[in-house]
Amino acid sequence: MNRNFAIVLASSLAFAGAASAATPERGEALVRLHCGGCHAVGRSGASHEPAAPPFRELHKRYDPEQLGEALGEGLLTGHPMMPEFRFEPDDVQSIIIYLKSIQTKQPG
């Protein structure tokens, strides 16, 4: 039995189960549109707003799953420069998938 094949199959099944309309591509498009003006949203590059943490380093402060709750609730109050956002559940899921995929340190 090819072990790699089993792992690939298992993870694609997990993905299919979790995904409704949520995709990392959609997440990336959303954060580029709504957050990219201040935050570095990709795997490299600096934030336009120096105070805004690059998204690939959010793991230093947050578990991306917890970030999902914050996003669903209209995002993190208490950051004066930061506007409030409200996203649909599918969009929140897309953003989480995308954010997880770019973290410089992947959760063990």
* End-to-end Cα spacing for the chain: 26
- Token pair of 83 as six digits: 């506007």
Give contact residues for ligand HEC (rule: CB under 6 A).
Answer: 31, 34-35, 37-39, 49, 51-53, 58, 61, 67, 76, 79, 81-83, 85
Of the two residues 13 and 60, which places its CB atom closer to ligand HEC in the complex?
A: 60
Name the burial class of residue 54, with classes exposed (0-12), middle (13-18) and buried (19+) by CB atoms within 10 angstroms of its CB.
middle
Of the two residues 19 and 52, which places its CB atom closer to ligand HEC in the complex?
A: 52
Least CB distance to ligand HEC at residue 100 (A): 13
Asked if residues 82 and 74 have their Cβ atoms less than 8 Å apart, the reply is no
Of the two residues 13 and 86, which places its CB atom closer to ligand HEC in the complex?
A: 86
